[in-house]
Amino acid sequence: MTRNEVTAYIQNVHFGYLATMGADGAPRVRPVGMHTIYGDCLYFFTFGNTRKVAELEANPRVEVVWSKPQEQSQVRIRGLMSLEEDETIQQQFKDDNPMVARMLPEEARHLFHLYRLQSDAVEMARGLVPYTTVEW
């Protein structure tokens, strides 16, 4: 699978499962709408008052998995998550994802946190076979 195919896969699935490490040392996994890609990074937003924000600050190493159970396929991306503070990128993300404005009324705009995932490894599997590495 190529990078373009992985990008199309992620954008088609739309929601991935983000794994972080909890404060108690236990893994935490939750669905996130992560399908926006600029350059080499993937982006998602969350509210600044969520548990995942504290987990990402304490340990930015994450993995995200997108899957299509009907195809028995999945894409996994591991890497470092960091808060995106570039206002130009934040605005581009909001423009590209109009649902953000619907989810963030004016009084909640201060809770907007945009995160950037810089990948260390990208893997893909179709069916019950070992993962293959995808050049990112």
Please give the CATH topology (third level) of the domain spanning 3-127.
Pnp Oxidase; Chain A (2.30.110)
Q: Looking at residues 42-54, what average pLDDT do you find?
A: 95
Q: What is the pLDDT of residues 54-107, one digit of tens each?
A: 999 999 999 999 999 999 999 999 999 999 999 999 999 999 999 887 888 888
Residue 45 pLDDT: 94
Between 103 and 10, residue with greater pLDDT: 10
Percent of the chain with pLDDT over 90: 88
Q: Read off the tokens for 135.
A: 């050049």
DSSP letters for 41-59: EEEEEEETTSHHHHHHHH-
Give domain limits for the chain. Answer: 3-127
Between 57 and 109, residue with greater pLDDT: 57
Tracing tokens 């990078």 back to the chain, one arrives at: 3
Residue 103 pLDDT: 84
Residue 107 pLDDT: 87
Residue 76 pLDDT: 97
Residue 87 pLDDT: 96
Q: Are 2 and 122 in contact (CB under 8 A)?
A: no
Q: Is the pLDDT of residue 113 over 90?
A: yes
The amino acid that residue 37 corresponds to is: I
Q: Read off the tokens for 78.
A: 């591991």
